[in-house]
Amino acid sequence: MTGKTGIVHRPQINLSRSTPGRMWLVNCCALLVIIQSALTDKGTSLVLACAALFSAVSIDLLVHVKSRNFSLKDGSTIATALIFTLLMPNRIHPLVVVFGVAFALLVIKYSFGGLGANWMNPAAGAWLFVILSWPLLFREAFQDMPLFIINDALESSITDAQGAPMDILKLAGITGTARDASVTSTLNSVFFRLFGTKLPDGYFDLFIQRGNGIIADRGLLALLAGSIILTASRISRVWIPAIYLGVYAVLVRIFGALPFGGSLGDGDVLFGLLTGGVIAAAFILLADPATGPKSSIGAVFASILAGCFTFIFRYQALLSYGAFFAVVFLNVFIPLIKSLESRYLYESRRKF
């Protein structure tokens, strides 16, 4: 009689590119976003990126000086530094970025075994660390940012009957640029009039921001282009950001106008998607295969949760960058999801 044997299939994700190939492509796309932001803030964004890279390279050399097994070649250390830079406001002090990268690498990444072994996204975890450690610095850096102006207006009981965040900005005294008015007028006369609709002023300015903001939002045009490149290159499971954005957009459409004084079903989906770091969260943070579920079922469940968490944090808790809080909060549940995957999906029944 043959003895019973347990066969365990290890969970794997098959991607079209190797880890170094994926990491360096992400690095190139992140660098494009930083460059766009730097073009409109006198190079401040580029200074922050240099501080992050200096910190990352120094730490990697110190950690691996004895083994000489440096991880710079695979691009993951550089990716952590550049992605973390995207999450930072362009006015933050460079030393905060240095400490954030150190926390991401030493506490979150290397202490758990390095690339692929960490249980949460290093950049997102470091973002939470620095924003909780230096709240006054962040509050100062966030001054005059559109999302914070809207929150301050809501605290002052300034609302809009249509529940439109862009109209609340106008009520608070913030108007669009002449460039935005010109482009919007052209689009309305050439394109949107064919559909009997009209694009309000202010949205074009979201793609090329000149005021204060996180670098991912200030370089939104480059970020969208980079997201297209990453999707076309199939370096991750592309349906993860699609599900996340879809769930989040539906919730914004149905309930998104209520916090601003509007009615059910009048939420501004375009504003919700193009602000608050949502695109960066979707295509860079959530799509990271190292810190997500391995199975398709688990990834779908996690993407739905992330979309719900993002809406709750941003529209119910009124946290301007609720998308990043959502990623961190979701990462807390990833070990549990992976455990359930291993138990019910990857451990085959014992055979005789």
The pLDDT tens digits for 1-40 are 444 444 444 455 545 556 778 889 999 999 999 999 999 9
Same domain, 326 and 280: yes
Inside any domain, residue 93: yes
Distance CA 75, CA 1 (A): 52
Segment 88-92 shows an average pLDDT of 95
Q: What is the pLDDT of residues 140-172, one digit of tens each?
A: 988 888 888 888 888 888 888 888 888 888 887
Segment 266-274 shows an average pLDDT of 94
The burial class, CB within 10 Å (0-12 / 13-18 / 19+), for 114 is middle
Predicted local confidence at residue 7, as pLDDT: 40
Segment 257-274 shows an average pLDDT of 93
Q: Do 260 and 166 contact (CB within 8 A), yes or no?
A: no
Domain boundary at 79, 110, 141, which? 141
Domain boundary at 194, 211, 228, which? 211
Distance CA 310, CA 312 (A): 5
Joined together, the tokens standing for residue 53 give 């890279």
Domain boundary at 141, 168, 192, which? 141
Q: How many domains does the chain have?
A: 3
Inside any domain, residue 1: no
Same domain, 171 and 276: no
pLDDT above 60 (res 115): yes
Same domain, 251 and 316: yes
Same domain, 243 and 313: yes
Using the structure block, give the residue that is written with the tokens 């695109």.
279
Inside any domain, residue 76: yes
Q: Do 335 and 119 contact (CB within 8 A), yes or no?
A: yes
List 5's β-bridge partners, or say none. 351
Same domain, 132 and 24: yes
Distance CA 142, CA 138 (A): 6
Q: Do 293 and 337 contact (CB within 8 A), yes or no?
A: yes
Supply the range of the domain harboring residue 83: 19-141
Sign of the CA dihedral 306, 308, 312, 314?
positive
Select the more confidently predicted residue: 6 or 78: 78
Distance CA 17, CA 238 (A): 14
Same domain, 270 and 324: yes
Segment 89-109 shows an average pLDDT of 95
Same domain, 263 and 314: yes
Same domain, 249 and 276: yes
Distance CA 35, CA 39 (A): 6
pLDDT above 90 (res 347): no
Comparing 11-20, 37-46, 262-271, which segment has the lowest mean pLDDT? 11-20
> In sequence order, which ranges of 103-238 are alpha helices (DSSP H)?
122-133, 135-141, 146-155, 165-171, 178-190, 204-207, 215-218, 220-232
DSSP H or E stretch at residue 82: helix 76-86
What amino acid is encoded at 77 in this protein?
T
Average model confidence (pLDDT) across the chain: 86
Prediction pTM value: 0.88
> Which residues, including other chains, have CB under 8 Å from residue 74's CB and lie 6 or more apart?
19, 20, 23, 115
List 351's β-bridge partners, or say none. 5
Same domain, 26 and 136: yes
Same domain, 120 and 35: yes
Predicted local confidence at residue 266, as pLDDT: 92
Select the more confidently predicted residue: 291 or 258: 258
Inside any domain, residue 97: yes
Inside any domain, residue 2: no
